[in-house]
Amino acid sequence: MEWLNPFFTFALGLILRIGIPLAVTAGVIYLLHRLDRRWQKEASAEALASPAGKPCWEIKRCGEEKRKACPAAAQPKVPCWQVFRS
């Protein structure tokens, strides 16, 4: 019975030094995983709500004359915010 006390002391030391940090790390990983899933759902919802792939002249319903003078219409593969940026 004399060996039982050092054994429990050693086991408690292992739990305190290894078990608690592992449990805290696992909890943080779980919370970050939940946060990442929520952010991915929000990003996919925003992507569905945006007018994906439409040129700006279709969104703004520009006329033919305005479109001919617009530098964004001359570069349809480039987003209009990049055309007007330079």
41 or 72: which carries more pLDDT confidence?
41
Burial of 46 (0-12, 13-18, 19+ CB in 10 A): exposed
Residues 6-64: pLDDT tens digits? 999 999 999 999 999 999 999 999 999 999 999 999 888 765 544 557 788 888 888 88
Q: What is the pLDDT of residue 50?
A: 46
Q: What is the pLDDT of residue 32?
A: 98
Per DSSP, 84 falls in state T
CA R_g for the chain: 30
Q: What is the pLDDT of residue 58?
A: 83
> Full-prediction pTM beyond 0.85?
no
Domain ranges of the chain: 1-50, 52-86
